[in-house]
Chain A
Amino acid sequence: GAVVSQHPSWVICKSGTSVKIECRSLDFQATTMFWYRQFPKQSLMLMATSNEGSKATYEQGVEKDKFLINHASLTLSTLTVTSAHPEDSSFYICSARRQGRMGGVSYNEQFFGPGTRLTVL
């Protein structure tokens, strides 16, 4: 099956530092990946859509200069939280879209990574 990994699974950093989170599709190529944020006991909120070889598309209210997204290859997207502050502490989840055709039928499905817990002190 399609597997998406995230690294690290958890990270603790000091306020003001930058943190990079990686999202990898292990057994398929993903031209599109998504980054979500999930606060405790809350739902997933889409932050941005990451497209391989082009700029990410950010959702309204998400600071693109704070949450830098790079999708440099078909299997890797990175989210960098710059100058992190305690309010950035959250669970960050990525997903990768697998698409194609098999037997004349198109398929298109998102596969989710296990998430990264970020704690900013």
Chain B
Amino acid sequence: AQSVTQPDIHITVSEGASLELRCNYSYGATPYLFWYVQSPGQGLQLLLKYFSGDTLVQGIKGFETEFKRSQSSFNLRKPSVHWSDAAEYFCAGATDSWGKLQFGAGTQVVVTP
């Protein structure tokens, strides 16, 4: 079955430290992959997406990802987190750019001083 998996439910990171959120996918073909952030009172915001081409993707707010076909991974990274990065992060996949999104379970990020 097609799915995306986020193995980490909760991550705590110190402000200024690097952050990596894991996402694995299971699709027959290369899926369309997305990372969203959800903050209280706000809608999900798209951080970055991968459809094809360069496997290194730069997103907004200093986030980046690398699509690794051999590992079926689409991990989200940020070199130095800010307190404002505390939020829930969702990885999502689709079979095409018009397809329905399937979301992972989400990872709650807590940023400590």
Contact = CB atoms under 8 A, between A and B. Distances in A.
A43 B43 contact: no
Contact of A43 (B46, B98, B100, B104): B104
Most B-side CB within 10 Å, residue of A43, A110, A111: A43
Interface string A94-119: 01000000000000111111110000
Contacts of B98: 108
A5 to B, nearest CB: 9
Given A43-B90, A44-B90, A112 B103 contact: no
A109 B46 contact: yes
B41 interface: yes
Nearest to B39: A114
A110 B104 contact: no
Contacts of B36: 112
Nearest to A1: B45
Secondary structure of the B contact surface, majority rule: loop
A81 interface: no
A110 B45 CA distance: 10
Contacts of B43: 4, 93, 95, 111-115
A42 B41 contact: no
A49 interface: yes
Range, interface on chain A: 20 to 34
B44 interface: yes
A111 B27 CA distance: 24
Contact of A114 (B42, B100, B102, B103): B42
A34 B46 contact: no
B101 interface: yes
Contacts of A108: 97-98
B52 to A, nearest CB: 14
B105 A114 contact: no
A46 interface: yes
Interface of B: 9, 36, 41-46, 90, 97-98, 100-106
Given A44-B44, A44-B90, 9 more contacts: A41-B9, A43-B90, A46-B100, A93-B44, A95-B43, A108-B98, A111-B43, A112-B45, A114-B43
